[in-house]
Amino acid sequence: MFLTSPPRAAVNVSVACRPRRAVPFSLQVLGYFLQAMESDFYLRYYVGHKGKFGHEFLEFEFRPDGKLRYANNSNYKNDVMIRKEAYVHKSVMEELKRIIDDSEITKEDDALWPPPDRVGRQKIALQLKATLENVTNLRPVGEDFRWYLKMKCGNCGEVSEKWQYIRLMDSVALKGGRGSASMVQKCKLCARENSIEILSSTIKSYNAEDNEKFKTIVEFECRGLEPVDFQPQAGFAAEGVESGTVFSEINLQEKDWTDYDEKTQESVGIYEVTHQFVKC
């Protein structure tokens, strides 16, 4: 008997085992668990993680003697098959059997499973919008410019809590001789190796004619790492529209910047800096 529909609620159960200790496990099924049986009873269920090669799941085999055998058939941790045996209390068996009977799922149906995980290569553009006062050619300066980002794992959806930066000057080799990237990182949750690359040819300045409009200032090639937030900081430069005066070391962390142009004797500034990400 198979349960293949993605579960709707998580239920934590402690399975009593011999000798003397409980083997805890978390089943994301539709409710609770089982009944004494006259024959073997097999259950497979989806645990909510999209696997590297499709789906990841646990398998359970319940026997009339009350013994439970289960296997972790996922590639989630170290790509190793984990198998254990335990004795299951009758009440656990009764509730699990009831739940499966109520679900009316009696055979495997792959159409009910989520689509296989496909984390591929994609380009994502960072667009900037700001109000410019008497300045133009706002741009990041140098290969050591730091793009501060928060990133999401394309496999499991985990989002980084802290700001991370990537730079053009950094190059990290990918496994298997597949080139390099600005950052290579293993996800703390699902252990997938992801990467992101700054595409240097796509870096553009934000000019006076772009005032108060979104414009792409850089594109990233993403292989598993997806930027979801951007924090502009130091390292920008701009020029006076009329004077050509260079203003270096502009810090946009506060989303506003002001200065004074001695040549034209007028104030200059960058205000209301916002951003968005778009897929290319």
Q: What's the pTM? A: 0.59
Non-local CB neighbours of 119 within 8 Å, separated by 6+ positions = 154, 155, 192, 194, 223, 224
- Going across the sheet that includes 147-153, the strands are 164-166, 147-153, 225-231
Helix (H, G, I), strand (E, B), or coil: what is residue 277?
Answer: strand
What is the DSSP secondary structure assignment for residue 161, as one 8-state letter?
S
Query: Could you report the per-residue pLDDT of 202-221, keeping only the tens digit for each?
Result: 999 999 999 999 999 999 99
Non-local CB neighbours of 80 within 8 Å, separated by 6+ positions = none
Mean pLDDT, the chain, rounded, equals: 73
Helix (H, G, I), strand (E, B), or coil: what is residue 106?
Answer: coil
Q: Return the bridge partners of 271, or none.
A: 131
Give the pair of three-digit tokens for residue 273: 């800096």
Of the candidate ranges 156-160, 226-230, 276-280, the one whose mean pLDDT is the lowest: 156-160
**Beta strands per DSSP E along 40-120:** 41-51, 54-62, 67-72, 82-87
Helix (H, G, I), strand (E, B), or coil: what is residue 209?
Answer: helix
Query: Could you report the per-residue pLDDT of 132-175, keeping only the tens digit for each?
Result: 999 999 999 999 999 999 999 888 888 998 999 999 999 999 88
Average confidence (pLDDT) over 37-42: 49
Cα–Cα distance measured from residue 60 to residue 119, given in angstroms and rounded to the nearest whole number: 29
- Looking from the CA of 139 toward its CB, the CA atoms found within 13 Å total 14
